[in-house]
Structure 1
């Protein structure tokens, strides 16, 4: 009821004047994806999934007030896979269960200095490492929340959100450890300031996973940290982008564990006339080696980090250190294609304690846009040492948006 009451209340504030001048904008998007997964050590070591997702809705606006409602349906056309809830559990996971849902239902007030948003909404903070939308998965992740974004003076931004429910990627059939929604009193706070060397952000994320079925509350945490992200031109043709981040995480609310774990990130990207070279080192630290006492990011867009094979979505008890190198090339236009991207990244994964070599992974991507459709091919190849088993994945995807 909260997600319906908040938008209705916000629209009521607009008064009769808004009803006279309302602009309507249709929202429509579609996705078709084939995912193939091979994982050693399973009785059935392959999965094949062809899924289709459709979202449709409308955004109504009048002056500073707007309201958006979007519905979503996800269909398995070829279902030779375990989706996390249905299908044979002895074959590789493809985390795209069938679903029908209310994806967005939000009201918003927006002025030059202040944006207020209430209802079911997307929240993606910074690089989405700690709080994100998980947009790669068909069902994505949204929040029933209220959010305030304030810019009191130029260069200074305050972003605070309170979320009472996290709508997960598991859809309406979600159950057990993979719930449809996880309730709790979550608070996300960012304060950022633009400096000559980049944007400096201080953040506090209080994650309250208030469902006993989800790891017995052991994913509830409080995380405090700093992040610096910037870009500096080195010449007319060369620029350097960088990120530096540190955070400290500990148990929170009903979490029965007592732990402390650190997060570190150093990342640099060199752009030379469309060619890109990237290197980084990310650490999700461990405490004393007990399960779920390492640095966890249950609300992050974790597919973006530590390899697309999804071997490290939950941080191992001994933590993880990810050393990665990558390169690529991008073109704004190539014949009938636009936004052409080629990318390759190599990861080496080690533990944060006990000196374990987890494994290595290659990630490859080619994508381009044709009119309103984005086509992409992805490949992930994980070679196991001390963690999990060899895994290979291929994705063929088409995304269309109105």
Structure 2
């Protein structure tokens, strides 16, 4: 760990040791009686029409079974199993190296442990060891890729502390990342020696200030090794008007073969007018003279720069994304339209633009989603259209 991060890590550790004990269950039997089991089902049809490759479609079923124990002596346990099954022939590129002449639908079949961890809670401090979900801030840098049928999780030791008023502290040491491609794929697991630190202060009244340091050393794919330090401000002007400002600086780390330095910037405004919800934003993933660019290899990438996923890897010339969205309920259906204008940070390339539409509603316990995205290429990638129909429920 670098000298910059040692004081914050020490602060977290000290706060962990000094936290007051929490109330414990009277017996192990009582803790087991307080356990909870959930079943989550998600059925999805995805169709991809992409210039240059054969179109593809997939009908897949995700089944998730989660067991959460009660707490005894400040300790609890969670086990979560996921299964992804194709309900039709797998004649599409599922991201594992098959059917490479077809468009990618990154939902490979497989059954695996999604989460399994021991949790220790004492006062305002929580320690968690094992395979776990880590979602930081808006998941731009660290997230779970929850849109895909196989979620991204982390084999890690994490510490969370909320014992100080208006202050949240988080630290994790990650030694493996379980990626969306599954255990059966060579790209499914990336070995790490990664440190994640995130601290926030919400006592300013006008918003929340977040500082972070993400020291990523990816032993499997060193090109993703980087050190990132940044600040995020989540401001609030009124109940219906807010804004987000963020800046981060990134350099290569570990044995990354690239030698680079790049910046990240975000300016975003959000507003609610009656039942309308509007968002206007400008995001920059900077470039180092066109040789290498700012990367976010642990992010929930599908949520950013368009739903057609044309920018899962940042081009060497960087990305500038000007986007706007508008949402409004129509009866029981929530509708949102999103538009992205994407261009290079280095040079004058206009990458393209994307228009997206999502509609969601609930019928009894079943959540229904329609989602469509259309990317029109100018100087980057190819024209791509994606359609999703999804039904999900939890028991």
Is contact 2:349–2:379 with CA below 8 Å preserved after alignment? yes
Is contact 2:287–2:316 with CA below 8 Å preserved after alignment? yes
Q: Any residues of structure 2 matched to 1:65-144 within 5 Å, and which?
A: 65-78=75-88, 79-144=90-155
Determine if the alignment matches structure 1 residue 199 to structure 2 residue 208.
Answer: yes
Q: Any residues of structure 2 matched to 1:7-18 within 5 Å, and which?
A: 18=27
Equivalence for 1:31: 42
Equivalence for 1:3: none
Is contact 1:163–1:184 with CA below 8 Å preserved after alignment? yes
Q: Deviations over 1:265-292 (max 9, x none)?
A: 01111111221111000000000222xx
Is contact 1:18–1:62 with CA below 8 Å preserved after alignment? no
Question: Per-residue deviation at 1:258?
Answer: 1.0
CA distance in 2, matches of 1:77, 1:233: 48
Number of equivalenced pairs: 368
Question: Per-residue deviation at 1:41?
Answer: 1.6
Equivalence for 1:257: 258
Q: Deviations over 1:81-121 (max 9, x none)?
A: 11012532111100111111011101112344111111100
Question: Per-residue deviation at 1:229?
Answer: 0.8
Question: Per-residue deviation at 1:330?
Answer: 3.8
Determine if the alignment matches structure 1 residue 376 to structure 2 residue 376.
Answer: no
Question: Per-residue deviation at 1:326?
Answer: 1.1
Is contact 1:190–1:203 with CA below 8 Å preserved after alignment? yes
Equivalence for 1:8: none
CA distance in 1, matches of 2:159, 2:297: 23
Equivalence for 1:302: 301
CA distance in 1, matches of 2:97, 2:360: 31
Equivalence for 1:323: 322
Question: Per-residue deviation at 1:259?
Answer: 0.4
CA distance in 2, matches of 1:54, 1:261: 40
Q: Secondary structure at the match of 1:166?
A: strand
Equivalence for 2:284: 283
For residue 224 of structure 1, the aligned residue among 225, 229, 234 is: 229
Q: Deviations over 1:347-367 (max 9, x none)?
A: 000000111100000010000
Q: 1:16 to 1:376 in 2, by over 3 A?
A: closer
Is contact 1:206–1:223 with CA below 8 Å preserved after alignment? yes
Q: Give me the CA root mean square deviation.
A: 1.7
Is contact 2:40–2:394 with CA below 8 Å preserved after alignment? yes
Segments of structure 2 that go 5 or more residues without pairing to the other structure are 1-22
Question: Per-residue deviation at 1:180?
Answer: 1.8
CA distance in 2, matches of 1:251, 1:135: 27
Is contact 2:131–2:153 with CA below 8 Å preserved after alignment? yes
Segments of structure 1 that go 5 or more residues without pairing to the other structure are 1-13
Q: 1:198 to 1:112 in 2, by over 3 A?
A: farther
CA distance in 2, matches of 1:187, 1:66: 24
CA distance in 2, matches of 1:231, 1:396: 35
Equivalence for 2:193: 185
CA distance in 1, matches of 2:305, 2:147: 15
Equivalence for 1:241: 242
For residue 388 of structure 2, the aligned residue among 387, 395, 398 is: 395
Task: With the length of structure 1 as denominator, give the TM-score of the two structures.
Answer: 0.88
CA distance in 2, matches of 1:87, 1:307: 25
Question: Per-residue deviation at 1:131?
Answer: 0.2
CA distance in 2, matches of 1:119, 1:87: 31
Equivalence for 1:5: none
CA distance in 2, matches of 1:254, 1:330: 50
Determine if the alignment matches structure 1 residue 356 to structure 2 residue 349.
Answer: yes
Q: Secondary structure at the match of 2:35?
A: strand
Question: Per-residue deviation at 1:15?
Answer: 10
